[in-house]
Amino acid sequence: MHKEIYLAYFDLMGFKEFILKNEPDYVASRMQNIYLDMESALTGNNLVKEPSGLYRPDVKNATLNCINISDTILYWTNDLTYNSLCQLFSTSYHLNYSLNNLNFPARGCISKGLVDCISGNHKSVNDTFYAALCLYGKGVVEAHIKAESQDWAGTVVDTSITSILNTQQELNLLSKYCVQYRVPYKKSSQCPTGDIGYDEYVFKLSDNISSDDVLNTIKEDINRVFSKDNKSINTNIQKKLDNTLKFADFLRSKYP
């Protein structure tokens, strides 16, 4: 049954090249790092001790849904309550931070829309399995289009959400995680210049870039993340990198 929910859609940039240019064991190790970022964001870094003695994110008590399909990461809520939106903002902010500052360049979109979900897992007597886990609907497609049209590593909050946040409490949620910024988009027939003509709410790269030393460290990290895993920097990627670094400079200007 389809319903309206809040959704976070993340696209890992350069994922195909990452797969093709690295050995399987290395890829498997790096994917574990990405999974850890996903799970840590999902659980607010709450850990649980496993029988092995190791500590892992406590996903059993997660309050959001989450799936990863190749280069796509999705979080979504079960309802449209304010508490669910707060959880989605917190989770998405921390994933955006950990991916783009430390792990793997990504662009994302936080939106509201109609979706449906199918899930199931069956094992046959022949030791094969059939598993279905699919989130689909206009809400997913619209978030996908908005995320992949961006020309940087960053996450935008769609107007389907910002237009309904009116109370001071709701506006405080935006200001806690976001700033208003002119998002760079790819040039297209819908956006010939790459500029949609107005600022949008986007997630900060860090809580506070309070000095030039902090800014330089963040920019070094962003450069490293873009070229990590044998990823090449062609003209298109360089533009995305430059746009991301420009955003870091903008955040520094907010804390003179």
* pLDDT (0 to 100) of residue 147: 97
The answer to whether position 255 is within a domain reads: no
The answer to whether position 171 is within a domain reads: yes
* pLDDT (0 to 100) of residue 78: 95
Which domain CATH number covers 236? 3.30.70.1230
Confidence of residue 197 (pLDDT cuts 50, 70, 90): confident
The answer to whether position 117 is within a domain reads: yes
- The mean predicted confidence, pLDDT, of the chain is 93
The answer to whether position 254 is within a domain reads: no
Does residue 1 carry a pLDDT above 80?
Answer: no
Report the amino acid identity of residue 246.
K
Query: Does residue 106 contact residue 99 with C-beta atoms inside 8 Å?
Result: yes
- The count of structural domains within the chain is 1
| Residue (of 30, 25, 1) closest to 15 by Cα position | 30
CA-CA-CA-CA torsion sign (48, 55, 9, 222): positive
Model pLDDT for residues 136-174, shown as the tens digit of each residue: 999 999 999 999 999 999 999 999 999 999 999 999 999
The tokens describing 175, both together, are 């200001």
- Residue 61 DSSP label: G
% pLDDT > 90, the chain = 77
Does residue 199 carry a pLDDT above 80?
Answer: yes
- Give the whole-angstrom CA distance, residue 150 versus residue 186: 6
- Can you give the residue range of the structural domain that contains 182? 3-249
Q: How far is CA 132 from the centre of its chain?
A: 23
- Give the whole-angstrom CA distance, residue 135 versus residue 133: 7
Model pLDDT for residues 4-32, shown as the tens digit of each residue: 999 999 999 999 999 999 999 999 999 99
Q: Give me the helices (H) in the chain, please.
A: 15-20, 24-43, 82-98, 138-148, 159-162, 168-177, 212-227, 235-253
Report the amino acid identity of residue 58.
D
* pLDDT (0 to 100) of residue 152: 98
Confidence of residue 256 (pLDDT cuts 50, 70, 90): low
The tokens describing 235, both together, are 């003209």
The answer to whether position 71 is within a domain reads: yes
Does residue 77 carry a pLDDT above 70?
Answer: yes
* pLDDT (0 to 100) of residue 46: 82
Which of 74-83, 93-102, 104-113, 191-200 shows the lowest mean pLDDT across its residues?
Answer: 191-200
The answer to whether position 68 is within a domain reads: yes
The tokens describing 36, both together, are 């850890």
Q: Rounded to two decimals, what is the model's pTM?
A: 0.93
| Residue (of 232, 238, 239, 250) closest to 180 by Cα position | 250
% pLDDT > 70, the chain = 99
- Burial of residue 5 (CB within 10 Å: 0-12, 13-18, 19+) is buried
* pLDDT (0 to 100) of residue 193: 83
The answer to whether position 229 is within a domain reads: yes
The answer to whether position 36 is within a domain reads: yes
